[in-house]
């Protein structure tokens, strides 16, 4: 059990390396949140409200991932500062460009969680490993959804006509 006496935690249940990786991952997740908000804004400007809603919902999910990591760090007694963020664009040339940027982001996040998992195994930190595995499994779904969106866009369907098909991506 983590002692919570005093202004900080008395002991930490994970090592410094993993604490740093998870803290950095908070920034990556909030960055993904911003990225998806920018994508939602792009679709809103195109009057593609259902597409905008899909990306706004994804943005909310990414913010939830950041909160999940923050909760984990709190539970294991890690004191941390929230990382600074840079701006995210709302300007894209096409829906395909949006989806490709989303895929690139998801693949980057997948690699980050794999790195965290490998570090946890190297440190024999099974608590961190198990926690990271939830995200590794989540990333399979995330990449699959974005690849399916790319397929839909590349099919040539009118984006307005495709809006009812977006329910399968929720």
Q: Report the pLDDT value the prediction gives residue 11, as an integer from 0 to 100.
A: 61
Is 3 a domain residue? no
User: Which residues span the domain enclosing 159?
Assistant: 16-169
143 close to 114: Cβ distance less than 8 angstroms: no
**Is 28 within a domain?**
yes
Instruction: Quote the pLDDT of residue 168.
Output: 87
Residue 46, domain member (yes or no): yes
* Inside any domain, residue 160: yes
Per-residue pLDDT of the chain (170 residues; tens, 9 = 90+): 333 444 454 467 899 999 999 999 999 999 999 999 999 999 999 999 999 999 999 999 999 999 999 999 999 999 999 988 889 999 999 999 999 999 999 999 999 999 999 999 999 999 999 999 999 999 999 999 999 999 999 999 999 999 999 988 87
Instruction: Kindly state whether residue 4 falls inside one of the protein's structural domains.
Output: no
The domain total for the chain is 1
Q: Assess if residue 42 is contained within a domain.
A: yes
Based on C-alpha coordinates, what's the Rg of the chain?
18
Cβ proximity of 38 and 58 under 8 Å: no
Residue 103 inside a domain? The answer is yes
Instruction: Please tell me the distance from the alpha carbon of residue 105 to that of residue 100, in angstroms, as a whole number.
Output: 9
Farthest CA pair distance, the chain? 61
Task: Report the CATH number that the domain containing residue 62 is assigned in CATH.
Answer: 1.20.1260.10
What pLDDT is stored for residue 31 in this prediction? 96
Q: Is 110 among the domain residues?
A: yes
Q: What is the pLDDT of residue 5?
A: 40
Sign of CA dihedral 154, 52, 23, 10: negative
What are the start-end ranges of the H helices in 46-170?
A: 49-75, 95-122, 126-154, 159-162
Tell me the C-alpha to C-alpha distance, in Å, between residue 97 and each of 26, 52, 126, 135, 146: 25, 15, 39, 25, 12
Between CA 158 and CA 32 the distance in angstroms is 27
């Amino acid at each position: 059990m983590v002692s919570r006496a005093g202004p900080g935690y008395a002991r930490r249940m994970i090592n410094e390396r993993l604490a740093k990786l998870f803290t950095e991952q908070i920034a990556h997740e909030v960055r993904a949140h911003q990225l998806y908000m920018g994508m939602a804004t792009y679709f809103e400007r195109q009057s593609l409200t259902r597409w905008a809603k899909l990306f706004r919902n994804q943005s909310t999910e990414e913010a939830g991932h950041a909160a999940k990591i923050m909760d984990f760090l709190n539970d294991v007694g890690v004191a941390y500062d929230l990382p600074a963020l840079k701006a995210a664009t709302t300007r894209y040339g096409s829906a395909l460009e949006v989806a490709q940027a989303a895929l690139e982001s998801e693949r980057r996040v997948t690699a980050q969680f794999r790195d965290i998992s490998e570090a946890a195994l190297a440190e024999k930190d099974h608590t961190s490993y198990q926690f990271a595995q939830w995200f590794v499994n989540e990333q399979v779904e995330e990449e699959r959804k974005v690849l399916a969106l790319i397929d839909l866009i590349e099919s040539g369907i009118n984006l307005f006509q495709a809006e009812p098909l977006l329910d399968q991506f929720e």
